Chains A and B, each alone.
Chain A
Amino acid sequence: MKPYLRDKVPTSFEEIPDNTAYEAGYLVTKNAGWRNVRPVIDTTRCIGCLNCYLYCPDGVIFEKDGKVSIDYDFCKGCGICSRICKLGAIRMEAEK
Chain B
Amino acid sequence: MAVSAKTLDKTEYFYGHKACAGCGGSLAVRVALKVLGQNAVAVIPAGCMSAVGFNYPQLCFGNNAIISTFAGTASMLTGVEAGLRAQGITDFHAVGFAGDGGTADIGLQALSGAIDRNDDILYICYDNEAYMNTGIQKSSLTPFGAKTTTTPAGKNIHGNLKQKKNMFEIVAAHGIPYAATASVGYINDFMRKVEKAKNIKGTKYIHVLAPCPTGWGIKTDETVESAKEVVDCGLWYLAEFENGEFTLNHRPKEFTPVENYLKTQSRFRHLTEEDIEIIKRSRDAKWEYINKNFN
Q: Do A and B bind each other?
A: yes
Instruction: Give CA–CA (A81, B223) in the complex, Å.
Output: 11
Interfacial residues of chain B within 51-69, with CB under 8 A of chain A in the complex: 56-65
Contacts of B6 in A (CB 8 A): 50
* A11 → chain B closest CB, angstroms: 6
A57 contacts B24, CB within 8 Å?
yes
The verdict on A79 contacting B60 (CB below 8 Å), with A53-B5, A55-B27, A74-B15 known, is no
Q: Please classify how large the interface on chain A is, using the bins under 10, 10 to 19, 20 to 34, 35 or more.
A: 35 or more
> Which residue of A is nearest B25, CB measured?
A57
Task: Tell me the complex Cα distance, A23–B59, Å.
Answer: 8
Cα distance A41–B10 in the bound complex, in angstroms: 20
B8 cross-chain contacts in A, Cβ below 8 A:
54
Interface membership of B224, Cβ < 8 A: yes
Residues of chain A with a CB closer than 8 A to B23's CB: 57
Asked if A9 is an interface residue, CB under 8 A from chain B, the answer is yes
The answer to whether A26 and B22 have CB atoms under 8 Å apart is no
Closest CB-CB distance, A66 to chain B, in whole Å?
A: 12
Within 8 A of B (CB), among A27-69: 27-31, 34, 49-51, 53-60, 62-63
Distance from A62 Cβ to chain B, minimum over Cβ atoms (Å): 7
A53 to B24, CA, bound (A): 14
Give the secondary structure class of A's interface: loop
A22-B59, A25-B61, A25-B62 are contacts. A58–B15 as well, Cβ < 8 Å? yes
Task: Answer whether residue A70 sits at the interface, using C-beta atoms and an 8 A cutoff.
Answer: no
Question: Does A57 contact B57, Cβ atoms closer than 8 Å?
Answer: no
Alpha-carbon distance between A63 and B23 when the two chains are bound, in angstroms: 22
**Closest Cβ neighbor of A30 among chain B residues:** B16
Whether B84 is near chain A, meaning CB under 8 Å from some CB there, is no
Q: Knowing A1-B38, A58-B17 are in contact, say whether A26-B59 is a contact too (CB < 8 A).
A: yes
Enumerate chain A residues within 8 angstroms of B63, measured Cβ to Cβ: 1, 24
Per the bound structure, the CA–CA distance linking A56 and B184 in Å amounts to 11
By Cβ-Cβ distance, the 8 closest A-B pairs, closest first, are A79-B221, A78-B22, A50-B5, A78-B21, A25-B62, A76-B21, A59-B12, A78-B220
| Chain B contact residues, CB within 8 Å of chain A | 5-6, 8, 10-19, 21-24, 26-27, 30-31, 38, 56-65, 184, 187-188, 213, 219-225
- For the complex with contacts A3-B12, A49-B5, A55-B184, 9 further pairs of A-B residues with Cβ separation under 8 Å are A3-B62, A9-B57, A30-B16, A50-B5, A54-B5, A54-B187, A55-B224, A76-B22, A80-B22
Q: Could you name 17 residue pairs across A and B whose Cβ atoms are closer than 8 Å?
A: A1-B13, A3-B12, A20-B56, A24-B62, A24-B65, A27-B16, A49-B5, A53-B5, A56-B27, A57-B22, A57-B26, A57-B27, A74-B15, A79-B220, A80-B220, A80-B223, A80-B224
